[in-house]
């Protein structure tokens, strides 16, 4: 039978846009539906605005550092309204770039929600039905709130970029990379930050030594980090008793001015598992993300969904229904924008270029944009030790730039090495600009470089990264 299009993509994020453009470049007729802004989570409410906020937050310490170097620079004041205006102008610009790229590639865009009517048919919000030989689901994920009474009063990560003003104080709930990045960003912008995490240490899944140093640095930054702690109760502060009003006063919130809104973003009274009670201008839940599969009609067609609602796919991103594929966060494999892009490229090569290309999820580098940053690739010390005998090469020191200014900030450079093959199994960096460094180190690790390959590389001096090629003796073996 004939189809209206060769490929219909549901989702206009980085993965869906890349897949649609690559497929269109082969001569395929491609359409794409997006019910929100083009660019998806990364461009509109994730990586890009977050990184711009990271940049903004780092200027807080620069005047003091500059004075230590002889500059006569006064402390400044952060203007959120001015920054937010420029931020949204940049997001508008980037969305326009995405739309022009799709238009230039010949991809037909529908600014509507789409669902699957059958294995080869997509139905849009206005009732239009479009048939497609192949359908690609790239709907990403969304932040989730905990199952807690009054959780609707809290913000999620999407809301941060839309705030009319910054809160004076905030409680961040969670210990993953989004929670920790937001804690550092907001603290850097002058917000009094408290963070609750129910686990024993933040950044679960990252190297223990590295995440311990990040936690220490966050506390040094003034973040009131509570581990093994969660919310027991929360309520709108204005609706609480006199005790909560007293807590509001202690927090610098005038009780008479507490707004009664019943909506997210209002001052909130919180009782914690450690027995403390406090009032915060805002509460931010950064407790996980959920794949966007609700209402797509997937299960009715035989597409298998996992426990969290993620789409189950094979190595070629194909679902249990042969004509339907899925990429990106909606599959809950490795939830990173560059991975979604790679998955989109592999899909196009497999389906439209006749080159069956499995997705490579091995040795993916990543960065956590805390202050300092955490960059990582490969195995953690703990995972490597469980796999085989290893050597660990690690050094922690005060970097030249901030040490000269009198700061006690420390950085970490760490290599995990196989005793048998001498290959570098993992590299972990906690330092300013660690994301930039780990990108380069990841090339060597992906190529299978040995510790001796690192040793043969001449150091660039004086730099922090030179320590990666100058560590000669292991700090421990296991």
Give the end-to-end CA distance of the chain in Å, rounded to a whole number: 62
302 token code pair: 């035989």
Q: Which among 454, 456, 431 is positioned nearest to 444, based on CA atoms?
A: 454
Sign of the C-alpha dihedral, residues 296, 297, 301, 307? positive
- State the Cα angle at 90 between 9 and 177, rounded to 5°: 70
Tell me how far apart the alpha carbons of residues 463 and 14 are, in angstroms, rounded to a whole number.
Answer: 34
Q: Decide if 475 contacts 393 (C-beta within 8 A).
A: yes
The verdict on whether 134 is a catalytic residue reads no
Tell me how far apart the alpha carbons of residues 268 and 278 are, in angstroms, rounded to a whole number.
Answer: 8
| Class of residue 221 by CB neighbours under 10 A (exposed 0-12, middle 13-18, buried 19+) | buried
Q: Which of 152, 409, 428, 461 is catalytic?
A: 461
Tell me how far apart the alpha carbons of residues 188 and 182 are, in angstroms, rounded to a whole number.
Answer: 10
Tell me how far apart the alpha carbons of residues 282 and 299 are, in angstroms, rounded to a whole number.
Answer: 38
Tell me how far apart the alpha carbons of residues 113 and 314 are, in angstroms, rounded to a whole number.
Answer: 26
Tell me how far apart the alpha carbons of residues 460 and 462 are, in angstroms, rounded to a whole number.
Answer: 6
Q: Provide φ and ψ at 6, rounded to 5°.
A: -80, -35
Q: Which among 164, 217, 216, 174 is positioned nearest to 194, based on CA atoms?
A: 174
Q: Which among 343, 366, 378, 328 is positioned nearest to 178, based on CA atoms?
A: 366
Strands 231-236 and 129-137: unpaired
Active site residues: 461
């Amino acid at each position: 039978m004939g189809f209206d299009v060769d490929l219909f993509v549901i989702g206009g994020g980085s993965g869906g846009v890349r897949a649609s453009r690559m497929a269109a470049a082969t001569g395929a007729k491609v359409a794409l539906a997006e019910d929100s802004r083009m660019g998806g989570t990364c461009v509109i409410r994730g990586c890009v605005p977050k990184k711009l906020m990271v940049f903004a937050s780092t200027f807080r310490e620069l005047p003091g550092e500059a004075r230590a170097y002889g500059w006569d620079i006064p402390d400044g004041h952060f203007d959120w309204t001015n920054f937010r205006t420029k931020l949204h102008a940049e997001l508008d610009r980037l969305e326009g770039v995405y739309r022009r790229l799709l238009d230039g590639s010949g991809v037909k865009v529908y600014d509507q929600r789409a669902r699957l009517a059958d294995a080869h048919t997509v139905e849009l919000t206005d009732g239009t039905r479009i048939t497609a030989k192949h359908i690609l689901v790239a709907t990403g994920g969304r932040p989730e709130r905990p199952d807690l009474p009054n959780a609707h009063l809290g913000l999620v990560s999407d809301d941060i970029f839309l705030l009319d003003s910054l809160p004076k104080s905030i409680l961040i709930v969670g210990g993953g990379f989004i929670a920790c990045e937001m804690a550092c960003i907001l603290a850097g912008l002058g917000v009094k930050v408290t963070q609750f995490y129910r686990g024993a240490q933040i950044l679960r899944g990252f190297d223990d030594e590295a995440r311990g140093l990040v936690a220490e640095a966050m506390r040094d930054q003034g973040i009131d980090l509570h581990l093994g702690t969660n919310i027991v109760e929360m309520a709108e502060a204005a609706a609480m008793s006199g005790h909560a009003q007293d807590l509001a006063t202690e927090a610098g919130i005038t009780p008479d001015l507490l707004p009664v809104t019943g909506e997210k973003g209002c001052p909130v009274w919180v009782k914690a598992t450690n027995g403390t009670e406090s009032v915060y201008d805002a509460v931010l839940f950064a407790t996980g993300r959920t794949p966007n599969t609700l209402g797509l009609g997937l299960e009715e067609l035989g597409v298998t969904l996992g426990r969290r609602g993620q789409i189950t796919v094979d190595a070629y991103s194909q679902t249990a229904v042969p004509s339907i594929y899925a990429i990106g966060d909606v599959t809950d494999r490795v939830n990173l924008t560059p991975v979604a892009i790679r998955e989109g490229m592999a899909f196009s090569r497999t389906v439209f270029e006749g080159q069956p290309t499995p997705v490579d999820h091995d040795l993916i580098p990543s960065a956590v944009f805390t202050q300092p940053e955490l960059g990582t690739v490969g195995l953690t010390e703990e995972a490597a030790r469980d796999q085989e005998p290893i050597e660990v090469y690690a050094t922690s020191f005060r970097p030249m730039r901030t040490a000269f200014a009198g700061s006690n900030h420390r950085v970490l450079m760490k290599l995990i090495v196989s005793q048998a093959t001498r290959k570098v199994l993992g590299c972990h960096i906690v330092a300013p600009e660690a994301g930039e460094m780990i990108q380069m180190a990841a090339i060597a690790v992906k190529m299978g470089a040995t510790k001796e390959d690192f040793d043969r590389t001449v150091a660039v001096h004086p730099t922090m990264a030179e320590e990666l090629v100058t560590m000669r003796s292991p700090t421990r073996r296991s």
